């Protein structure tokens, strides 16, 4: 079963959330941002080149122009490969664990997996971020020594930064699976 | 003007859902407010303003209002925290400049404060303490955003020296368009009205309160073979430590079984130690004991060891110490300065002029009364005093101020500029009018960058009907740096 909903991020941009219900114990959430738009790409390129031409007319050194070309190309490559995340996926399987995948615009993917034994809970939290106070979803990890303590907080959907309504949607589904997992683990 | 103006979602949500406060206190209210307390001073910092904000907020929550507190980050304590009854505290990462007060540029805190005001749907900004730069910033921004403002002044100021002239000027600017001002005593009101050139009608007097359960008498802790005089204050000039150093030798020579117990720390401690050395008051048995700095929880244990409480302050807006002492069943001898004569009825306090001679006479009178046994039992004094100043009463009176303020109109921009120019003198007036305009333009820019509709409304966790108390998922307790939002529905 697959379902797609549209939400917005904290800046007002559009986000698409895809749920995939594989079974009662396995769900996938996929948040995708819009791809790099031609408009912003053109705007950035034009600004860099105009600045370069401005400098060129001042000091008349053609090195500046070639440097500008290199800067735009390298900047674009770096941005697509290391910064721009197109899609963030959260796969949660109750007997196994939680897997988080972020796919960069260049196609690079980075994946983290947390096994269920380490997960204490999934919660929505509040933080002060860049002159804003935002809600975010995070996973609490158990302390290996003291199971009631929390050793680490892992934030989810770090680049998409969806708004609260979207977080609640994901939070509910996660809680259902966590509750299901607790039921099965306590009464085998 | 701000988001309350247009068709934005700025209207207070709780205004349409009256909430009932719990238990026997329940009064069905048709109006509740979303109040935001702003001050640089809050826990973990300790002091009178801090406990005032906390206790007032708790009582207002009990009465069904929504209250949040904004302060600056203290060390690693930053971000959002929750206290008892879902009282939400924002510790904002702003730079501390001097004496726990933040640096101000009048603009840099606007984005964050505006975001919080919008997401919490705040209707009334209540700032505390004239020493707090953040409180003044918040007032300035709130007026730009068109929110109602209330200010509580906790201290008295002089008029003569350079620093007070400057502070008074700033206070004039800050308060000239504030909706309502609260002072802690009539003397403080007079002082504030004069300093800030205010209309006295918009200044209310609501005294501080003490928690009477913290200050109970315990007559068995004191030794009745000797008479003990307790002094608990910071040992600074303003608290009259110099007077104390004159009183100690005089009385110790006259009465052989008189002891002094002095709690507090400060630069003037050295004087007291000198007096003790010179008159050899520490040999054989210790007659003057200096306890050093006391924590608030230890104050009661020191107070109950004495018979007479001595306060030698030279200036005081509202003296909490004498109420605490009287609540512990002690006889109070105090200087007649500032708001002190208003605090306790005449039969519970002996008032003196701020001079060594007068204070000695007052103390002798107290000693005579003690020896003649004409005093009521400490328990009786406690029972009388505990009815005088309660936080519930303070909250009730503050609520009336909020009710009144919420009906008033916030000055629109052009009137505000007029007020600034006409009230604050030609130069300061124009400078601050310009700053107000710049602030307004900055606000428009911010609203264009992040419109109100993009800001999530915060979940209301305050009070007995808050989001925390009824939930279907298991409530997860956690320490650490962050707080959890356990969703309901």
Q: Which domains does chain B have, with CATH numbers?
A: 4-17+32-209+392-488 (3.40.50.2000), 219-388 (3.40.50.2000)
Report yes or no: B313 and B238 within 8 Å, Cβ to Cβ: yes
User: Among partner residues B79, B112, B484, which is closest to A131 by beta-carbon distance?
Assistant: B112
**What pairing do the DSSP bridges indicate for beta strands B288-292 and B258-263?**
parallel
Does the beta carbon of A180 lie under 8 angstroms from any beta carbon of chain B?
no
Q: In angstroms, rounded to a whole number, what is the distance separating the alpha carbons of residues B96 and B73? A: 9
Does the beta carbon of B481 lie under 8 angstroms from any beta carbon of chain A?
yes
Report yes or no: A18 and A30 within 8 Å, Cβ to Cβ: yes
Residues 3-42, chain A, touching B (beta carbon < 8 A): 8, 10-12
Task: Output the tens digit of pLDDT for each of chain B's 489 residues.
Answer: 333 333 333 333 333 333 433 433 344 455 789 999 999 999 888 777 888 999 999 999 998 899 999 999 998 898 999 998 889 999 999 888 877 788 887 899 999 999 999 999 999 999 998 888 899 999 999 999 999 999 998 887 777 788 888 888 888 999 998 999 999 888 889 988 988 888 999 999 998 888 878 888 888 888 878 889 999 988 888 888 999 999 988 888 888 888 889 988 888 889 888 888 887 765 556 788 888 888 878 888 899 988 999 999 988 888 888 888 999 988 999 999 888 888 899 888 999 999 999 999 999 999 998 888 878 888 888 988 888 888 999 999 999 999 999 998 888 888 999 988 888 888 989 999 999 999 999 999 999 999 999 999 998 888 776 776 654 333 443 333 334 333 333
Does the beta carbon of A143 lie under 8 angstroms from any beta carbon of chain B?
no
Q: Which residues pair with B70 in a beta bridge?
A: B38, B90
Scan for tokens 């904002």, then name that residue: B92
A171–B487: do the CB atoms touch at under 8 Å? Answer: yes
H/E stretch holding B254: helix B241-254
Residue B457 with chain A: CB contacts under 8 Å:
164
**What is the chain A residue with the closest CA to B449?**
A11
Does the beta carbon of B82 lie under 8 angstroms from any beta carbon of chain A?
no
Does the beta carbon of B486 lie under 8 angstroms from any beta carbon of chain A?
yes
Query: Is the pTM above the cut of 0.90?
Result: no
**What is the chain A residue with the closest CA to B73?**
A128
Residue A171 with chain B: CB contacts under 8 Å:
487
Q: Half-sphere exposure (CA, 13 Å, Cβ side) for B293?
A: 5
Question: How far away is chain B from the Cα of A53, in angstroms, using its nearest Cα?
Answer: 30
User: Among partner residues B115, B453, B478, which is closest to A150 by beta-carbon distance?
Assistant: B478
Q: In angstroms, rounded to a whole number, what is the distance separating the alpha carbons of residues B318 and B190? A: 13
Question: How far away is chain B from the Cα of A66, in angstroms, using its nearest Cα?
Answer: 35
Residue A168 with chain B: CB contacts under 8 Å:
487
Does the beta carbon of A123 lie under 8 angstroms from any beta carbon of chain B?
yes
A132–B115: do the CB atoms touch at under 8 Å? Answer: yes
């Amino acid at each position: 079963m697959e379902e797609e909903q549209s939400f917005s991020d904290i800046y007002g941009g559009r986000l698409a959330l895809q749920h995939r219900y594989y079974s009662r114990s396995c769900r996938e959430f996929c948040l995708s941002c819009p791809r790099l738009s031609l408009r912003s790409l053109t705007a950035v390129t034009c600004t860099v080149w105009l600045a370069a031409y401005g400098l060129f007319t001042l000091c008349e050194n053609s090195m500046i122009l070639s440097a500008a070309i290199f800067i735009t190309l390298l900047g674009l490559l770096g941005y697509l490969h290391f910064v721009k995340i197109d899609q963030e996926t959260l796969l949660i399987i109750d007997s196994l664990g939680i897997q988080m995948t972020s796919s960069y615009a260049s196609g690079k993917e980075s994946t983290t997996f947390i096994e269920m034994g380490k997960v204490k809970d999934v919660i929505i939290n509040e933080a002060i971020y860049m002159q804003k106070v935002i809600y975010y979803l995070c996973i609490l990890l158990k302390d290996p020594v003291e199971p009631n303590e929390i050793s680490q907080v892992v934030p989810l959907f770090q680049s998409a930064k969806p708004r609260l309504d979207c977080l609640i949607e994901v939070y509910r589904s996660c809680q259902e699976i966590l509750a299901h997992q607790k039921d099965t683990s306590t009464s085998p | 003007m701000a988001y309350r103006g247009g068709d934005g979602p700025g209207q207070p949500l709780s205004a349409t859902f009256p909430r009932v406060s719990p238990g026997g206190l329940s009064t069905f209210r048709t109006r509740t407010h979303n109040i935001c307390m702003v001050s640089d001073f809050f826990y973990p910092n300790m002091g009178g303003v801090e406990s005032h904000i906390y206790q007032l907020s708790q009582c207002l929550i009990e009465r069904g209002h929504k209250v949040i507190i904004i302060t600056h980050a203290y060390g690693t304590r930053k971000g959002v925290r929750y206290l008892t009854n879902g009282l939400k505290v924002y510790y904002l990462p702003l730079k501390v400049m001097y004496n726990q007060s933040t640096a101000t540029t009048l603009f840099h805190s606007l984005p964050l404060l505006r975001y919080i005001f919008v997401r919490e749907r705040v209707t009334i900004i209540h700032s505390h303490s004239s020493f707090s730069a953040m409180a003044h910033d918040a007032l300035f921004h709130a007026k730009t955003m068109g929110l109602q403002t209330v200010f509580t002044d906790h201290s008295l100021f002089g008029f003569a020296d350079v620093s007070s002239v400057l502070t008074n000027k700033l206070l004039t600017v800050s308060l000239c368009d504030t909706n309502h001002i609260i002072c802690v005593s009539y003397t403080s009101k007079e002082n504030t009205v004069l300093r800030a050139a205010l209309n006295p009608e918009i200044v209310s007097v609501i005294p501080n309160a003490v928690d009477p359960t913290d200050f109970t008498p315990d007559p068995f802790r004191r030794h009745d073979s000797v008479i003990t005089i307790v002094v608990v204050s910071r040992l600074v000039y303003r608290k009259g430590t110099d007077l104390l150093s004159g009183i100690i030798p005089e009385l110790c020579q006259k009465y052989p079984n008189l002891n002094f117990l002095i709690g507090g720390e400060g630069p003037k401690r050295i004087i007291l130690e000198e007096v003790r050395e010179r008159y050899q008051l520490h040999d054989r048995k210790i007659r003057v004991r200096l306890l050093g700095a006391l924590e608030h929880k230890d104050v009661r244990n020191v107070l109950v060891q004495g018979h007479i409480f001595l306060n030698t302050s030279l200036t005081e807006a509202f003296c909490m110490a004498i109420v605490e002492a009287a609540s512990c069943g002690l006889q109070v001898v105090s200087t007649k300065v500032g708001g002190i004569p208003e605090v306790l009825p005449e039969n519970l306090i002996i008032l003196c002029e701020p001079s060594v001679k007068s204070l000695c006479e007052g103390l002798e009178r107290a000693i005579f009364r003690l020896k003649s046994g004409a005093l009521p039992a400490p328990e009786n004094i406690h029972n009388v005093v505990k009815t005088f100043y309660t936080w519930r009463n303070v909250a009730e009176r503050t609520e009336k101020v909020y009710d009144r303020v919420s009906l008033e109109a916030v000055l629109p921009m052009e009137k505000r500029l007029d007020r600034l120019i006409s009230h604050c003198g030609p130069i300061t007036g124009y400078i601050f009018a310009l700053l107000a305009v710049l602030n307004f333009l900055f606000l428009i820019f911010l609203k264009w960058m992040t419109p109100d509709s993009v800001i999530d409304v915060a979940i209301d966790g305050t009070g007995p009907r808050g989001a925390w108390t009824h939930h279907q998922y298991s409530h997860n307790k956690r320490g650490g740096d962050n707080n959890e939002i356990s969703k309901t529905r």
